[in-house]
């Protein structure tokens, strides 16, 4: 029988947690904020996957969740102990997102206006995930000012927010709901 993760360790009761590698940091540390926000994003991706979407989209979302766990582990790694063996984000991961964006875009009318989120719960969840993704990207960029962060992590998060926007549009079409365009009152 394998090792079972203990749910509570009591080691964080005083406001600190451990990075991968063992270094203790406060729970408000930039690394914790970065990977915690990616974890929040991953939960929203799971919520999208739980909607009545087609199997190809579910499979893509599952792949994205896997990549987000990889990003979380990268962001949670002690920069002073970089010799740990971890999964990585690669250019093919980004190309995968770009190919999915292109595939969905082919089925959509050209974008000529800003679109207001809403119309169906599934596409609304995509917009929420997109905004959480953008926040994760901003926090990770901020982290990269003081700590080394793999540039592909930032690139992946950037492309993922684009993917989530296009998925929202694609799901509007899938569920046959109109996109509500934003018209500025000038």
Distance CA 94, CA 158 (A): 9
Q: What is the pLDDT of residue 32?
A: 81
Of the candidates 180, 168, 185, 186, which has an alpha carbon nearest to the alpha carbon of residue 114? 180
pLDDT tens digits along 131-168: 999 999 999 999 999 888 999 999 999 999 999 999 99
Q: How many CB atoms lie under 10 A from the CB of residue 51?
A: 19
Distance CA 177, CA 118 (A): 9
Q: What is the pLDDT of residue 82?
A: 62
Domains of the chain: 25-77+88-181 (1.20.1200.10)
pLDDT tens digits along 96-113: 999 999 999 999 999 888
Pick the residue with more confidence: 72 or 32? 72
Distance CA 95, CA 74 (A): 20
Query: How confident is residue 48, by pLDDT bands cut at 50, 70 and 90?
Result: very high
């Amino acid at each position: 029988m394998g090792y079972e993760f203990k749910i509570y360790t009591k080691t964080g009761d005083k406001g600190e947690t451990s990075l991968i590698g063992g270094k203790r940091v406060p729970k408000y540390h930039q690394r914790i904020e970065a990977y915690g926000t990616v974890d929040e994003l991953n939960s929203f991706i799971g919520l999208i996957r739980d909607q009545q979407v087609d199997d190809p989209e579910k499979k893509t979302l599952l792949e994205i969740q896997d990549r987000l766990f990889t990003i979380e582990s990268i962001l949670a790694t002690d920069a002073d102990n970089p010799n740990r063996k971890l999964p990585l984000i690669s250019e093919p991961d980004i190309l995968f997102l770009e190919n999915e964006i292109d595939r969905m875009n082919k089925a959509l009318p050209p974008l000529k206006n800003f679109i207001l989120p809403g119309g169906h719960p599934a596409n609304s969840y995509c917009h929420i995930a997109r905004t959480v993704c953008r926040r994760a990207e901003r926090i990770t960029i901020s982290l990269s000012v003081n700590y080394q962060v793999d540039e592909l992590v930032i690139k992946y998060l950037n492309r993922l927010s684009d993917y989530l926007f296009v998925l929202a549009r694609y799901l509007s079409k899938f569920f046959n709901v109109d996109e509500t365009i934003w018209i500025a009152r000038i």
